[in-house]
Amino acid sequence: MIPFDNFILSLVTYATIITTSLFFYLKYRYTFWQRQGCPVPLSPHIIYGHTKEVTKMKTWVGEHYANIYYNTDGYKFIGFYQFQKPKLMLRDLDIIKDVFTKEFSTFPNRGIVFDDKLEPLTGNLLTLEGHKWKVLRNKLTPAFTIGKIKNMIDLIDGRAQEMVTILQISAENGNQVEFKELLARFSTDVISIVAFGFETNSLANPDAEFRKVGRMLFSTSRETIIRNALNALAPNLIGILKVRSIKKEYADFFYNVVNNTVKYREENDIQRNDFLDLLMKIKRGHNLASEEDSKSIFEENESKEDFEFTMEVLAAQCFVWFIGGYETSSITLTFTFYELAQNLEVQRRAQEEIDTILSKHDGNLTYDVLQEMIYLDMIVSEALRKYPPVPNLTRKAVKSYKFPDSDFTLAKGLQVVIPVYGIHNDPKYWPEPEKFIPERFTEDEKRNRPQYAYVPFGAGPRLCIGMRFGTMQVKVALVRILSAYNVSLSKNMKVPVKLNPKTIPANPEGGMFIHVTKRNR
């Protein structure tokens, strides 16, 4: 029998050996970039790497990566670590341009971990890679042509005018309005009618089923935290442990809604001018490109093979459009109104333009009428500059890549990060970036600024396919509200020194409250 003292000594010895071994193992892992010949200007934490602040939720991911970007000035690219996972941050706009476009064949994927067998809804255009993504992108691109989108504006305008009616009650009573919630309900109704062809009535009923699902999809859950941690530490375990990114009850609800709607339309021979109708045509083997004479974004011989466009694939595309249209549009609208409520001269100019152009067209709002509103477009562009919907973009190398004018070669399988939020708020490209200045987007200003200093929707073949639709949705809401009301910040609004695009400035009770008053014209 081992004496107790010897047992304790052995335990301490083993613990010391294990701890020391782990320490030196981690130290070795954190020399990965140096061994590759890549600069690492910032020292990593022994546990968190370069993500300590964001892991401890002391900052949000866009600002955190922006801080890394700001603190490494003078470098074209730098290595950093998400825990022990090596990633490369791109700082040079010419390199970013090459990664998005010229070298797209080397960086075609986003590198998002997903399992479409476990979660069919994750097999969508955002996450898919390689041949499947290429074929799907070619099939879906004609569904987002200007001609198709023009036909959807009446559906959006109807929901916008309903929102104005709801605001009228608040304006008459002199009440403040929680704009973030109102605009989320508007976006939910727009996406549901345009994508699925049915009314969710979220504007009239804040507790509508679709609104509750949308709210829950973007809430932070225990599963989300676990999945994010595994993605940083051991992404292979996600599939083994069957960790879901979407709660099964919400995934099932969404799939059943799409599946039942498709069945009903097929059985009753119903055709509607919406996104689901276009997806059903693709599922039946129709070539939408021939209808719009839309050219493939790839060489004709690149995508000869096909894959089955199943009900699961169809539902996944509806899902990604729902989450994309719901979240990005409502957040962009919320911050646009927040800025207009503070910058009253910008608001006045926008209203004058809207009044003048609408009067020319008897109050009718079409896609072409929107194109005449140049200053409104500048306002939306500046909102997307200051508050990009996706703060960081990623690309994953499918083969090794030697960076130009450098001895450094990036190995296959590694991921690069483009710090969009950091670039969009870099004073080198945007003097006084904290100010809201729509005039940054005059034609002269755009010509005099590097193109890739502004990438709110990405660039290249993986440019956001719903970009036109999303900006149209935002503009329609702005036109209808600003033509009827003035907006100003609530006196109770608590505005933080530095805004977080994911947490909306709030009053002490929560929410983003704005006063609306009827315009006297």
Domain 37-518 has CATH 1.20.210.10: no
Instruction: Locate 127 and state its tokens.
Output: 């996450």
Give the domain ranges of the chain.
37-518
Instruction: Locate 339 and state its tokens.
Output: 């800025």
In the three-class reduction of DSSP (H, G, I as helix; E, B as strand; rest coil), residue 486 is classed as strand
Distances (CA, A) of 28 to 91, 125, 359: 26, 37, 68
Q: What is the pTM of this model?
A: 0.89
How far is 347 from 337, CA to CA, in rounded Å? 9
67 backbone dihedrals φ, ψ, rounded to 5° = -65, -40
**Distance in Å from the first CA to the final CA of the chain:** 96
How far is 391 from 387, CA to CA, in rounded Å? 8
Which pLDDT belongs to residue 511? 63
In sequence order, the β-bridge partners of residue 144 are none
Give the DSSP letter of residue 405.
Answer: T
Q: What is the side-by-side strand order in the sheet with 393-396?
A: 77-82, 85-90, 415-418, 393-396
Question: Residue 355: which of 338, 375, 341, 335 has the closest Cα?
Answer: 375
Helix (H), strand (E) at residue 482: helix 467-484
Cβ neighbours, 10 Å, residue 265: 16
In the three-class reduction of DSSP (H, G, I as helix; E, B as strand; rest coil), residue 45 is classed as strand
Question: Residue 425: which of 100, 65, 51, 66 has the closest Cα?
Answer: 66
Residue ranges of the chain whose pLDDT lies below 70 = 1-7, 9-15, 17, 19-26, 174, 218-241, 288-306, 492-511, 521
Pairing verdict, β 85-90 and 77-82: antiparallel
pLDDT digits (tens, 9 = 90+) for 35-80: 999 999 999 988 888 988 887 778 888 899 999 999 999 999 999 9
Which pLDDT belongs to residue 503? 52
CB 317 within 8 A of CB 281: no
Which pLDDT belongs to residue 300? 44
Helix (H), strand (E) at residue 383: helix 374-386
CB 468 within 8 A of CB 475: no
Question: Residue 91: which of 147, 32, 41, 164 has the closest Cα?
Answer: 41
Residue numbers in the known binding site are: 464
Which pLDDT belongs to residue 500? 55
Which pLDDT belongs to residue 292? 44
Q: Which of 169-179 are b and which e, b meaning 16 or more Cβ less than 10 Å from the residue's Cβ?
A: ebbeeeebbbb
Which pLDDT belongs to residue 237? 65
Which pLDDT belongs to residue 21? 62
Helix (H), strand (E) at residue 81: strand 77-82
Question: Residue 95: which of 457, 452, 454 has the closest Cα?
Answer: 452
How far is 335 from 240, CA to CA, in rounded Å? 40
CB 479 within 8 A of CB 370: yes
Cβ neighbours, 10 Å, residue 42: 16
Question: Residue 484: which of 345, 350, 284 has the closest Cα?
Answer: 350
Which pLDDT belongs to residue 104? 96
Which pLDDT belongs to residue 221? 59
Longest dimension (CA), the chain: 98
In sequence order, the β-bridge partners of residue 49 are 45, 82
Sign of CA dihedral 167, 171, 172, 174: positive
Cβ neighbours, 10 Å, residue 246: 19
CB 366 within 8 A of CB 153: yes
How far is 243 from 119, CA to CA, in rounded Å? 10
Q: DSSP 3-state helix, strand, coil percentages of the chain (rounded to 5)?
A: 55, 10, 35
Which pLDDT belongs to residue 133? 92
Instruction: Locate 398 and state its tokens.
Output: 């499918």
How far is 41 from 76, CA to CA, in rounded Å? 12
Give the DSSP letter of residue 178.
Answer: E
Residue numbers in the known binding site for heme are: 464
How far is 401 from 425, CA to CA, in rounded Å? 29
